[in-house]
Structure 1
């Protein structure tokens, strides 16, 4: 028995689509993106022990580097391993699910970005597509760079927190607390690194000008330090400096890129005249 094949949507010759067609396409792309995240989460679930060892590697390196007893009960020198604890069986399960979800989003991100791009690109002109592709790729790369920097400074941040815990305070890390610290640091650094992309965009559409941003650079530096202190979950000087200094450099880089766009726009306007 043969079933009738579902007919494709009839798209008008001018390329326009109705509201229901847009909603149907959006629903289809959301489902495909969700399936990609679910597939990535399943992969992380099967590789959970390896993923957890990778996430605890900065803490393990810290415990190896410092004197015995610095990490307290969290470090087993005989096994050269970090021990994370749970207060109940549910905490271990929910942490595993949380890591799988985060990992699924990371692994499924290329598919998600692809479907977002395919959904919005028909409404853009050629030059708008070029700018959008540049902004999206820059934001993704800067977010990844911020996340990698956060992970590389995680050991120093934990070291500062342990040192300031006081004498006689034994270190017993809950697995949920540790994963929460790692996640928040990666997100905070990633968002901080993508702010310059927003500044370039605002300059491109005329909301801000390079001259205006340059005139308030002193206030901007103070604001960046305060923002970095507010969004850094560990609150230690190492993480604060690791986030604020690159943000300051990226702030001036955004001004330079905005100035380049402004000069090109003026040159194009003069050539037309």
Structure 2
């Protein structure tokens, strides 16, 4: 048994030191990934810009309006990509920091949620790149007024796609949000299921806001979100059943 009297004034300092160490490890992981990717920064930017360049009219190209843009745009992309790639390790460090203060049943729920949230975020970003971007940029370049050359600035393009990567990645976190809402008692599966019609309308509204104003792009985002909503409901039901079993089974 630990003697609490010997720990007077120490727990807070110990937690702060532990937090600092976890942050340093996370920053070190990002730095290692960044150093490994920076040599390929131009190729990485070309890869990210590929959906737009393929949709641009023949004879046009992207431009750099800023003096330092040819360097800063690939640098910024590489930095964000390093955080993106290192995210599993970053979340592991966050988990290692908070895990000692969690109950056993909370740990059993948190581990799959963390893993699922990373996979869903990656899936949302991949969906945006491979499905939405080609349709979106094809639409944007097709509606350009006659006589207007589509020559997008590389920095503006990067800011645009990074925002969309984040938006689609967060949109795909819908099952995690549902599980957390039900697990914390903020709502119930039955209430969410009864509001399914409103959720479907909301998915199409989100699709309208995040994609070009054409029915194909809106549907391509709305349908996956609706599917993920149903997945979240199923996951919440399973977790609720498991929790009920644990409550019915007395601890030895």
Q: Same fold (TM over 0.5)?
A: yes
Give the deviation of 1:251 after TM superposition: 0.8
Q: State whether structure 2 residue 157 is matched by structure 1 residue 178.
A: yes
> 1:62·1:155 contact (CA, 8 Å) conserved in 2?
yes
Normalised TM-score (structure 2):
0.87
Give the deviation of 1:35 after TM superposition: 2.0
**Number of matched residues?**
244
Give the deviation of 1:166 after TM superposition: 2.4
**CA spacing shift, 1:235–1:179, aligned 2, 3 Å:** farther
Partner SS for 1:88: coil
1:127-155 CA distances to partner (integer Å, 9 max, x unpaired)?
21111011111111111111100000211
Q: State whether structure 2 residue 11 is matched by structure 1 residue 18.
A: yes
Partner SS for 1:171: coil
* Worse-matched range after superposition: 139-148 or 162-171: 162-171
Structure 2 counterpart of 1:27: 20
Which of 101, 125, 141 pairs up with 2:103? Answer: 125
Which of 139, 157, 160 pairs up with 1:160? Answer: 139
Q: State whether structure 2 residue 209 is matched by structure 1 residue 216.
A: no
Structure 2 counterpart of 1:187: 166
Give the deviation of 1:266 after TM superposition: 4.0
Unaligned residue ranges in structure 1 (runs of 5+): 1-11, 64-69, 75-83
Give the deviation of 1:71 after TM superposition: 4.6
**What is the distance in 1 between the residues matched to 2:58 and 2:212?**
17
Q: Rg: which structure is higher?
A: 1
Q: Which one has the bigger helix percentage?
A: 2
**What is the distance in 2 between the residues matched to 1:234 and 1:111?**
35
**What is the distance in 2 between the residues matched to 1:260 and 1:224?**
24
> 1:71·1:171 contact (CA, 8 Å) conserved in 2?
no
1:209-256 CA distances to partner (integer Å, 9 max, x unpaired)?
1110111111111122223333x1655544422221100111122122
Normalised TM-score (structure 1):
0.81
**What is the distance in 2 between the residues matched to 1:269 and 1:25?**
34
Partner SS for 1:173: coil
Partner SS for 1:89: coil
Structure 2 counterpart of 1:42: 35
